[in-house]
Amino acid sequence: MNDSGLEFLLDQGGLAAASELADWTLRPADQLQDLERLRARFGSEGGRALYDLELLRRRARIKFRLADAMIFERGGLEQATSEPVARLRAARFQEIGVRSITDLGCGLGGDALALAADHEVLGIENVPLRARLAEFNVRVYEPEAEFRVEERDLEAWSDIETDALFFDPARRDSGGRRAQSPTEYHPPLSCLDRWLPRVRAAAAKVAPSVRAHELPPDTEVDWVSLEGELKEATLWFGDARRGIARRAVILPGEHVLEPSSDAVESIGAIGAVLLDPDPAVIQAGLVESLAQHLGARRIDWTVPHLTADQRVDSPFARSYRVTEVVERPLRQLRRRLKERRLGRITLASRGVTIDLEKLRPKLRVPGEESAHVIFTKRDGESVAVICVAPGSAS
């Protein structure tokens, strides 16, 4: 999507034509033919804009429930917050009673559309195309919202007249390279130092891989997972803090795990159940707290796997019923799979250096039975755990 394409969609009736593409297959093999059909009707720029928009809308459905009415460009969609995560964050601002919020780096409006449901929102964006998209996309959700966008350079921005801030810095450079540290964000996280004293509350979105020593002092952090995928970390400041240094938040359902003051560091043999903690729990450093919460124990200090002696159902971990633990797995595993006719296996590993794709052909054996094979460590030694996922009849 470029400025000409956006002009066609917004000002030349292109959006009315976009609905026609919803029923098209849009297979890669047919791309040239599809583009020729569209360009014949809508011109070069219009045809390309319609084709790209339909592809992006299909990708965006996993993030936005009204994706088919929104407008996207590729880079903005990749960086946009998923709607359930944005609404979770907006709810905390509502809880503390702030009236106005400035969305710094609003992109195409992924967070603003949630914030604008209950707040007066000013979006600041330095990419003109994305600023126009934010204005449009917020109106898709909130036609009467108190929302406006200004095209400004965030690093020079200082005109703060708002109750709260949400800061979403770019985590990729102009060449698409992912930032390795908050100091490489654009603008850097350090800009918060001059903004925070002038607002009641603030939040910042950072990469979930952020390390504790890279964060500002007195920061509270939520690591957020959606459908088992670690999405981001949110930093909280001012009145938005809750007195809890780190939390793991699991969506959907908003399940929250906090540090346990009486968490016991225990290690033991693999029992009837193997538990694989959600990545938000692992990144938040709450594996011991989860063990205490579930009545489970660790199997090795270098891997996050937990184990229990009876079935455990939890939103914070995936549970597997253990059927066998194979020692020296590279020597013995194939034989055991063959003996048990486990010809349909799913491989996974934690804390073990192993190339699963190279190993997969070597483990092919005849048989229709299925199982999960998880490579992990037990008391310092590599093992393979043959297990069954919940709901399986095997």
Domain ranges of the chain: 3-60, 76-255, 273-388
Neighbours of 215 (CB within 10 A): 17
pLDDT in tens, 8-33: 898 767 888 898 888 888 888 899 99
pLDDT in tens, 158-172: 888 999 999 999 888
Please indicate whether residue 29 or residue 279 has the higher confidence score (pLDDT). Answer: 279
pLDDT in tens, 188-235: 999 999 999 999 999 999 999 998 888 888 899 999 999 999 999 999
pLDDT in tens, 332-343: 999 999 999 999
**Residue 281 pLDDT:** 97
Q: Which residues contact 20 (CB under 8 A, 6 or more apart)?
A: none
**Residue 180 pLDDT:** 82
Q: Where residue 52 falls among pLDDT bands split at 50, 70, 90?
A: very high
pLDDT in tens, 110-122: 999 999 999 999 9
What is the reported pTM? 0.91
Q: Where residue 40 falls among pLDDT bands split at 50, 70, 90?
A: very high
What number does CATH give the domain 76-255?
A: 3.40.50.150
> Which of 3-12, 103-112, 183-192 has the highest mean predicted lDDT (pLDDT)?
103-112
| Distances, alpha carbon 66 to alpha carbons 4, 62, 95, in Å | 24, 10, 25
By CB neighbour count within 10 A (0-12 exposed, 13-18 middle, 19+ buried), where does 178 fall?
Answer: exposed
pLDDT at 1 over 80: no
Q: Are strands 201-206 and 164-167 parallel, antiparallel or unpaired?
A: parallel
SS3 call for 237: strand
> Which of 17-26, 130-139, 323-332 has the highest mean predicted lDDT (pLDDT)?
130-139
- Residue type, position 145, single letter: A
**Residue 297 pLDDT:** 95
Q: Where residue 178 falls among pLDDT bands split at 50, 70, 90?
A: confident
CA distance linking residue 90 with residue 112, whole number of Å: 9
**Residue 295 pLDDT:** 93
pLDDT in tens, 141-151: 999 999 999 99
Q: What is the mean pLDDT of the chain?
A: 92
Nearest C-alpha neighbor of 133 from the set 22, 245, 1, 278:
1
pLDDT at 392 over 60: no
CA distance linking residue 345 with residue 330, whole number of Å: 15
**Residue 394 pLDDT:** 52
pLDDT in tens, 63-85: 999 999 999 999 999 999 999 99
